[in-house]
Amino acid sequence: MNLIYNSEHYSVVEFRAESGQEAMRFGGFEILDKPSRREIFLAGELAENFRQHVKELSARQPTEEEIDEFLGSYRPLMAQPVVLQ
């Protein structure tokens, strides 16, 4: 597990690929939307697509606002509430 991005609005944690587990073949990413307290876990092909988009975005040396805007495109998929106990 590796924290790869953290801003006021989002954090992204990367999980390494695991052989023998099809869902984690490409690893995974957890994206947390801090203001809405919702998150999504991307695995499999979704994780690979996310990794590709991040690589393309990183090549342009984006601002924090641009990164947050990109991560915001995943908000409609974030159905899992974050609960702290």
DSSP state of 84: -
Kindly report the pTM of this predicted structure: 0.83
In this predicted structure, the answer to whether residue 22 has a pLDDT above a threshold of 70 is: no
**Token pair for 14:** 């990367």
Distance of CA 38 to the CA centre of its chain: 12
**Token pair for 48:** 């690979």
More confident residue, 18 or 66: 66
Question: Domain boundaries in the chain?
Answer: 2-81
Confidence of residue 27 (pLDDT cuts 50, 70, 90): confident
pLDDT of residue 76: 92
Paired with 42 in beta bridges are: 29
Which tens digit of pLDDT belongs to each residue from 36-78? 999 999 988 888 899 999 999 999 999 999 999 999 999 998 9
